[in-house]
Amino acid sequence: MTAESLVIDNIGSLITNDPALGRGSLGIVENACVVIADDVVVAVGPAGAVADRRIDAGGACVLPGFVDSHTHLVFAGDRSEEFTARMDGRPYDGGGIQVTTDATRATSTARLDALVRERLAEAHRAGTTTIEIKSGYGLTVDDEVRSVDIARAHTSEATFLGAHLLPREYAGRADDYIALVCNDMLCRVAGTAKWVDAFCETGAFDADQCRAVLDAGRAAGLGLRLHGNQLGHGPGVQLAVECGCASVDHCTYLTDADIDALAGGETVATFLPATDFSTRQPYPDARRVLDAGATVALASNCNPGSSYTTSISFCIALAVREMHMTIDEAIAAVTTGGAAALRREDVGRLSPGSAGHAVILDAPSHHHLAYRPGVPLIRQTIGPLSSRALPLCGHGMGDDGVGRQRVDGHDRPAEGPQ
């Protein structure tokens, strides 16, 4: 059976991210249309193409769906009081992770899954169509397994982050906990997670411990990611490049040697500006990294303690205002940059053969995403958060009645691909 086709027509400004198709590095095409069939772009051209269904963009800007390559959506509990205290002057040290761990452990699988679905729906309304989700608030074998299972039920980009923080029951025994992560935990999640991650930071895990996690993850067939250089200068960035991580995330404190390593390697520097906003940390010097030739991504880092937002538009505005990125660079960072951080070539662009995931703005230009910060400019999001979600079942599911069929993790627009 031939797939039903959809045309997004009467586009005033189309961001393709393919310079061969249009103007500049973003491949901008004016007075354009995009034809999608079976969730894949089949044509980009002048307005007026015919398809089975039509969305009239009304002269608005259309761009690829956002790729959010760093989130922590599997959690329970609220840390608004911690945020309020921080705004009153208490510094951020990462210790609140244990608070969320306690709440997450105490919450049923069914409820955790429902919370993830709510956050995914919010992200989809805000323009995100591809998303990575980490575990990391369980920190026991069974709780990490169920967190990865929940993440994998909603996205192919599920990350095992058992090495997020040392749980209190392992106080003073970090090496024993890392052994648990590298053996029992990893063995249980290896068939479900796509990625392994660790938090390389003072107060979390040191370079040798993180290297052990990355090496074990690689041996188990997982791709590698790393949190690094968030709270101060440290070995995280160079460790990530040395190990061949797809991405090193935060990158708030960078030496010249760190930047040289990023520029000379294939590891994406993923900035998380909403975290720096929420923690009153310095913003990364994205300009130095970009000028050195490294690949850059922006992501939300949605989590309850240091960045409780799913708004990529907010991250774009922060990056432009506070990190000295151009608007075009910020748009690339949340599309092709995020795709690179996930080692994906099918998302983050709107060109023939790419995923048919698009955002229609209530604005004539992508510049408005930074020009009008805080304004809800996402008129419509077309395409699912993930086209590869699996049934929620398996290793970590308890007897709390969660269904075995896939739970739809987002609101699909009435006219978008189904």
Q: Which of 105, 92, 98 is nearest to 143 (CA)?
A: 105
User: Residue 140's domain spans which residues?
Assistant: 66-341
Instruction: Kindly report the pTM of this predicted structure.
Output: 0.91
Domain assignment present for residue 33? The answer is no
Residue pLDDT, tens place only, 269-303:
999 999 999 999 999 999 999 999 999 999 999 99
Please indicate if the annotation marks 137 as binding a ligand. yes
Please indicate if the annotation marks 227 as binding a ligand. yes
Domain assignment present for residue 361? The answer is no
The answer to whether 31 and 12 are in contact (CB under 8 A) is yes
Average model confidence (pLDDT) across the chain:
91
Amino acid 141: pLDDT: 98
State whether the Cα torsion 399-400-404-410 is positive or negative. Answer: negative
Domain assignment present for residue 399? The answer is no
Domain count for the chain, please give it. Answer: 1
Please indicate if the annotation marks 324 as binding a ligand. no
Q: Is 148 exposed, middle or buried (0-12, 13-18, 19+ CB in 10 A)?
A: buried
CATH assignment of the domain containing 136: 3.20.20.140
Domain assignment present for residue 51? The answer is no
Please indicate if the annotation marks 230 as binding a ligand. yes
Domain assignment present for residue 22? The answer is no
Q: Using CA atoms, how far apart are residues 143 and 124, in angstroms rounded to an integer?
A: 26
Please indicate if the annotation marks 305 as binding a ligand. yes
Q: Is the pLDDT of residue 350 over 50?
A: yes
Domain assignment present for residue 191? The answer is yes
Residue pLDDT, tens place only, 225-250:
999 999 999 999 999 999 999 999 99
Domain assignment present for residue 111? The answer is yes
Domain assignment present for residue 231? The answer is yes
Residue pLDDT, tens place only, 117-153:
999 999 999 999 999 999 999 999 999 999 999 999 9
Please indicate if the annotation marks 306 as binding a ligand. yes
